[in-house]
Amino acid sequence: MESGTGRVLVVGVDGSPRGDAALRWTLETGAHTGDTVRAILVRPRDGLLPGTSFALQPHGRIPEGRYSLATHVSGLGIETAAEVETRTVHGDPATELVTASADADLLVLGAHRGGAVADLVLGSVGRECVRYSRCPVVVITPEAAHRLTPA
């Protein structure tokens, strides 16, 4: 954790409405002056085999091509007093977000809504982050983000 400058809030962003809701909630509600919001997009490694769970992208829509996370974040037009950093990393989403949690005061994720009862709220990335994160974890739905945003 960074000392003396405020909190570090890490947000998993995947280009989906749920990832955007997590980012919006963090910037509008969770972050304050002096805080750093670190938005992280995890892209699959080039070496993943077709047919692996991540190749099927069950955790959200991973933007491709010339997608810029910084442009996406600024395009949301969210006012915040916090400093915003964007990072794109390669690897397994749960592993990379848990690793980022080591230097964070809070990890924020959008809720995954899958078809299976076990994945109804968290999804596999959320479950792994809640289980192994080194800081508190907030899992938020778009509906909850809207309800909790100040008027």
**pTM exceeds 0.85, yes or no:** no
Confidence at residue 48, expressed as pLDDT on a 0 to 100 scale = 46
Cα–Cα dist 8/71, whole Å: 21
Distance in angstroms (rounded) separating the CA atoms of residues 52 and 21 = 27
Q: Which helix (H) or strand (E) holds 12?
A: strand 8-12
> Percent of the chain, pLDDT > 90?
45
Of 54 and 83, the structure prediction assigns the larger pLDDT to 83
Q: Is 105 exposed, middle or buried (0-12, 13-18, 19+ CB in 10 A)?
A: middle
Average pLDDT, the chain: 81
Express each pLDDT in 89-127 by its tens digit.
999 999 999 999 999 999 999 987 654 444 445 678 888
Q: What is the pLDDT of residue 3?
A: 47
* β-sheet bridge partners, residue 42: 89
pLDDT at 16 over 90: no
pLDDT value, residue 147: 73
